[in-house]
Structure 1
Amino acid sequence: MKTLKSIFSFYVNSSIHVALAVAALVKLTFLKFEILGGDAYIYFSFLGSIVAYNFVKYANISELYHRRLTKSMTGIKILTTVCAIIFVYFGYQLSIDTLLWMLPFVLLTILYAVPIFPNKKNLRSVAGIKIFIIGVTWTGITVLIPVIYAEGALEFNMIIEIIQRFLFVVVIMLPFEIRDLQYDGKELETIPQKIGITRTKVFGSILLVIFLLATVFKAELFSTEILSTVSITIISLLFLWGTDKKQSEYFCSFWVESIPIMWLFIWVLMQNLFG
């Protein structure tokens, strides 16, 4: 039992789970817009997410482990290094245009973690924008870049999808902001710090309503699109209102981060049931 718990802890802490969430949203985009041959980009986004998230999470605290590296931290470093090498391999399989479109989001990730601004600040520490940077980055990587990868034009439905994806990511980040309320400095001015936990949940609920209603504006609506969007809206709403400042260790880092995977599963299920 202890071994299984250690494996699960490594799975979550090494960012494999959140990388699967990113890859699930990429796959969802390919399925929604019937984009074929996207496996290389899915692997690329999965591996890149592991590298990026571990860089953001552990770059600033690596010195804490300099004297006494735990087995877990050593394993995370090895995993990240291996993923970085394979990430470069899949990068060579992508077009130059795709890689160029990736640059702004790579830059955002670096600026999010590396303190290059005055007073040794990074973007994460700039008041009020953390959650929206994550929203922009996830949206770009999981919707915009896949479309560019497929060399397709940005049609109206895709623009609606971009808006929806941004709203969705912002909402599922709110439980993390509520969780971190007791740890974040007041200078961060996160949404729960500014308006409180209950109003944050109301704010997220409003965003989910907009997310759901935006579906109506898509040029073509199918049963799969409608039912999967309604389902994931309800699931996200339940998790949002089930969030508290004091929560179980893996409520956010596993269950909330599983919501994108649930969305992909629901889409595939609805597609098989209704075509």
Structure 2
Amino acid sequence: MKTIQSIFNFYLNSSIHVALAVASLVKLTFLKFEILEGDMYVYFSFVGAIVAYNFVKYATISKLYHKRLTKSMTGIKILTGICLLIFVYFAFQLSIDTLMYMLPFILLTILYTVPIFPNKKNLRSVAGIKIFIIGTTWTGITVLVPMLYAEGSLGLDIVIEIIQRFLFIVVIMLPFEIRDLQYDNRELETIPQKIGITRTKVFGSILLVIFLLLTAFKEDLSFAEILTTVLITIVSLLFLWGTDKKQSEYFCSFWVESIPIMWLFILVMMQSLFS
């Protein structure tokens, strides 16, 4: 039993799970816009997410992760190194344009972690913007860049998808901000710190309503996508309102981070049923 738990903890701590969430959102984008030749970018985003998240989490060890750093740290370093090599390999398979589209989001990730601002600050420690930087980065990597990679241009439906994805990412980050209330410095001015837990949930609910309503403005809209959007909105609401300051160890790190994977699974099911 301890072996299974150790493997599961390694799966979470090494960022494999969050990388699957990122890759799921990329695949979701390709499925929504019926792009068949995007698998290389999906793999690229998966290994890139492992490298990026492990860099963010372990470059400077925070209180939140300090308790989890055990002998598995060696394995995490090896996995990250292997993923970095694979990431570089895939980078050479992509066009220069695609890599240039990714550059701002790579820089955001670096600035999020590395203290280069006055008073040795990074973007992560700048008051009030942490959640929006994550939302911007995830949206860019999972919608904007893959669509430019595949299509080379942006139409109205893609612009709406970008806005929806940003709102979705911000909402699923709120449970993490609620969880981290006991760790975050008051100077961060996170949303729960500013308005409290209940109002944070109301704020997230409003964003989800906007996320849902925006679907109606898409020009090319299928019944499968409508039903999928309704279902993932309900799922996200349930997790948002089920969040508390005191929660189980895996509530955010596994279940909340599984929402993008659930979204992909629901879309695949709906498309198979109504195609």
TM-score between both structures, scaled by the size of structure 2:
0.97
The 5 Å alignment of 1:127-138 reads 127-138=127-138
SS at match of 2:84: helix
1:144-163 correspondence runs (5 A): 144-163=144-163
Name the CA distance, whole Å, in 2 between partners of 1:152 and 1:164: 20
2:262 maps to a residue whose letter is M
Q: Counterpart of 1:5?
A: 5
The percent identity for this pair of structures is 82
Once residues 160 and 152 of structure 2 are traced to their aligned partners in structure 1, the CA distance between those partners, rounded to angstroms, is 15
Deviations 1:129-169 (A, max 9, x none): 00000000000000000111113320000000000000000
Deviations for 1:175-218, whole angstroms, at most 9, x for unmatched residues?
00000001100000000000000000000000000000000000
Task: Give me the whole-angstrom Cα distance separating, in 2, the residues matched to 1:263 and 1:125.
Answer: 31
CA deviation profile, 1:62-121 (whole Å, cap 9, x unmatched): 9xx9xxx84200000000000000110011111100000000000000000001111110
**In 2, Cα distance between equivalents of 1:121 and 1:70:** 28
Counterpart-to-counterpart distance in 2, 1:152 and 1:224: 26
Query: One-letter code of the match for 1:235?
Result: V
Shift, 1:222, TM fit? 1.1
Q: Cα distance, 1:6 vs. partner? A: 0.2
**Separation (CA, whole Å) in 2 of partners of 1:207 and 1:4:** 38
Of 142-151 and 100-109, more deviation after overlay is shown by: 142-151
Deviation at 1:221, TM superposition (A): 1.9
Deviates more, 1:32-41 or 1:189-198: 32-41
Aligned residues: 270
Deviation at 1:220, TM superposition (A): 2.2
- Secondary structure in 2 matching 1:61: coil
The equivalent residue for 1:28 is: 28
- Tell me the equivalent position of 1:46: 46
What residue in structure 1 maps to residue 193 of structure 2? 193
Q: Aligned partners of 2:33 and 2:165: how far apart in 1? A: 14
Q: Secondary structure at the match of 1:92?
A: helix
Q: Which residue is equivalent to 1:219?
A: 219
Q: Which region of structure 1 is more displaced relative to structure 2, 151-160 or 131-140?
A: 151-160
Deviation at 1:39, TM superposition (A): 1.1
Structure 1 letter corresponding to 2:194 = K
| Code of the aligned partner of 2:154 | L
Partner letter of residue 39 of structure 1?
A: D
Counterpart in the other structure of 1:239: 239
Counterpart of 2:246 in 1: which secondary structure?
coil
Unpaired runs of at least 5, structure 2: none
- Cα deviation for residue 61 of structure 1 reads 2.4
Separation of aligned partners in 2, 1:229 and 1:110: 32
Amino acid at match of 1:136: T
Q: Distance in 2 between matches of 1:97 and 1:36?
A: 20
Aligned partners of 1:80 and 1:144: how far apart in 2?
25
Q: 1:105 is matched with which residue?
A: 105
Q: What is the CA–CA distance in structure 2 between the aligned matches of 1:21 and 1:78, rounded to whole Å?
A: 21
How well do the aligned residues superpose, as a CA RMSD in angstroms? 1.2
Larger displacement relative to structure 2 (31-40 or 92-101): 31-40
Which residue of the partner structure matches residue 274 of structure 1?
A: 274
Q: What one-letter code is carried by the residue in structure 1 that aligns with 2:128?
A: G
CA distance in 2: counterparts of 1:94 and 1:242, whole angstroms: 41
- Write out the 4+ residue segments of structure 1 that deviate beyond 4 Å after TM superposition: none
- SS of the equivalent of 1:60 reads coil
Q: What letter matches 2:7 in structure 1?
A: I
Unpaired segments ≥5 residues, structure 1: none
Q: Match of 1:166?
A: 166
The one-letter code of the counterpart of 2:192 is P
- Deviations, residues 203-244 of structure 1 (Å, cap 9, x unaligned): 000000000000000012211110000000000000000000
The residue that corresponds to 2:255 in the other structure is 255
